[in-house]
DNA sequence: ATAAACCCTGAAGCTTACTATAGGGTCAAG
DNA sequence: CTTGACCCTATAGTAAGCTTCAGGGTTTAT
């Protein structure tokens, strides 16, 4: 009924086509993300179009920031679409978006602190004896803990 | 000549003051970042003001995104200020800034891809059979490698 | 027939920054 | 005199996502 499988790919071919390593593919398999549809007589993994599509899904999701663990869950949703709701799926992307926003916010904070430091330094050929970068880093650090309690 | 050391801190005291764990401190030592000025008779690490300041430098640098390895290099610059130039130090922060900018750019790209996905989904109570998120992830992935060369 | 280029498994190693565990010494209070 | 809170060393484990290695089969070209 379904279009017949024209031909299978061996692991090296699939890896080359996907631009990842053979070892990564085997690793994904070991993590339960994707396995070959069948094996050849000599035990070689053989991948069908279905597997290729699944790998596409995985790499797609990876590209937008999902971890392999999360992708495994996504693959579960994908496989049993009828047992899950759009809401569930959307919640998943929503959570990920917030996570990424948090990471961005942290990095932006770091960057601005770094830029202040950077811009204060003359960057000249003189020795760093009075370098403002080193001085600022050295300045009393506000240990964010209680200051009291000397014995 | 120099102001005398009023008293030393034991590792637990320094850790509490800095808001990090004793184990982290010992780890930093094992990585060659900071070591106690001396040891008490029973082998306890004793930290002077100098060490406290150095730890401040470390935590400061950590906060703005330097790795321990990089901090080790920074400590080297700090220690031998007279053998290095402002330029060198400034190059270091410059490189770090570019690194962070790259990370931010990557995350922003991820986020916008995710947001497109997210916004296209209705998020309703129906089953995910036609969920646009899953469909888009499943769509033919452009493997960024040569497409030719069929046997 | 033999070397190159594939494929297999299972286990170990890498990176970063710690945390935990095992086994044991030290010190002050009750 | 023992309990608890410290301190010590050395080693192993954690997370994530691979990579490398050891040891061994298969296929294809020369
Ligand atoms: Zn300068
Ligand atoms: Zn400077
Ligand atoms: Zn929907
Ligand atoms: Zn949906």
Distances (CA, A) of B125 to B4, B116, B117, B122, B129: 72, 20, 18, 9, 11
My answer on whether B66 and B105 are in the same domain is: no
Work out the burial of residue B136: count CB atoms within 10 Å of its CB; fewer than 13 is exposed, 13-18 middle, 19 or more buried: middle
Question: B60 lies in a domain?
Answer: yes
Question: B149 lies in a domain?
Answer: no
Distances (CA, A) of B16 to A70, A113, B107: 36, 25, 35
Query: What residues contact residue B85 under an 8 Å CB cut-off, 6+ apart?
Result: A124, A125, A126, A127, A128
Q: 3-state class of A148 per DSSP?
A: coil
Q: In angstroms, how far is CA A139 from the centroid of its own chain?
A: 36
Question: A125 lies in a domain?
Answer: yes
Question: B90 lies in a domain?
Answer: no
My answer on whether A107 and A137 are in the same domain is: yes
My answer on whether A6 and A65 are in the same domain is: yes
My answer on whether B59 and B107 are in the same domain is: no
The pLDDT value recorded for residue B5 is: 61
The pLDDT value recorded for residue B66 is: 97
Q: Is strand C in 7 Å reach of the CB of A26?
A: yes
Predicted structure pTM score: 0.88
My answer on whether A22 and A52 are in the same domain is: yes
- Tell me the residue range of the domain where A104 lies: 98-144
Q: Which residue of B has its CA nearest to A50?
A: B138
Test B131 with A93 for CB contact under 8 angstroms: no
The pLDDT value recorded for residue B80 is: 95
User: With an 8 Å Cβ cutoff, is B150 touching chain A?
Assistant: no
Question: A73 lies in a domain?
Answer: yes
Rounded, the Å distance between the CA of B140 and C1' of D29 is 36
The pLDDT value recorded for residue A5 is: 61
My answer on whether B5 and B70 are in the same domain is: yes
Rounded, the Å distance between the CA of A12 and C1' of D26 is 14
Question: A90 lies in a domain?
Answer: no
My answer on whether B4 and B77 are in the same domain is: yes
My answer on whether A67 and A123 are in the same domain is: no
My answer on whether A118 and A57 are in the same domain is: no
Number of domains chain B contains: 2
pLDDT tens-digit map of A115-142: 999 999 999 999 999 999 999 998 776 6
Reported as half-sphere exposure (CB side, CA atoms, 13 A), residue B63 has a value of 19
Give the start-end residues of each E strand in chain A.
9-10, 38-39, 45-47
User: With an 8 Å Cβ cutoff, is A73 touching chain B?
Assistant: no
My answer on whether B6 and B73 are in the same domain is: yes
Give the end of a domain, one of B84, B111, B129: B84
| Res. A6 pLDDT band, cuts 50 70 90 | low
Name beta bridge partners: A38.
Answer: A46
Mean pLDDT of chain A: 90
Q: What percentage of chain A has pLDDT greater than the value 90?
A: 86
Question: A55 lies in a domain?
Answer: yes
User: With an 8 Å Cβ cutoff, is A84 touching chain B?
Assistant: yes
Query: What residues contact residue A69 under an 8 Å CB cut-off, 6+ apart?
Result: none
Rounded, the Å distance between the CA of A85 and C1' of D12 is 43
Question: B112 lies in a domain?
Answer: yes
pLDDT at residue A148 above 70? no
Give strand letter and number of the nucleotide nearest A31 (CA to C1'): D17
My answer on whether A102 and A49 are in the same domain is: no
Test A134 with B77 for CB contact under 8 angstroms: yes
Per residue of chain B (151 residues), what is the pLDDT tens digit?
A: 555 666 899 999 999 999 999 999 999 999 999 999 999 999 999 999 999 999 999 999 999 999 999 999 999 999 999 999 999 999 999 999 999 999 999 999 999 999 999 999 999 999 999 999 999 998 776 665 433 333 3
């Amino acid at each position: 009924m379904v279009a017949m499988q024209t031909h299978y790919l061996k692991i090296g071919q699939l890896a080359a086509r996907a631009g990842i390593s053979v070892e990564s593919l085997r690793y994904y398999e070991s993590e339960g993300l994707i396995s070959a549809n069948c094996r050849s007589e000599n035990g070689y993994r053989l991948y069908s179009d279905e597997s290729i599509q699944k790998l596409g899904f995985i790499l797609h999701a990876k590209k937008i920031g999902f971890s392999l663990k999360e992708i495994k869950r996504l693959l579960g949703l994908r496989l049993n679409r009828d047992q899950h709701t759009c809401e569930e799926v959307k919640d998943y992307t929503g959570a990920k978006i917030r996570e990424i926003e948090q990471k961005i916010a942290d990095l932006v904070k770091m960057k601005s602190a770094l830029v202040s430091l950077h811009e204060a330094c003359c960057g000249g050929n003189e020795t760093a004896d009075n370098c403002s970068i080193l001085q600022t880093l050295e300045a009393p650090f506000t240990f964010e803990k209680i200051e009291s309690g000397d014995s």
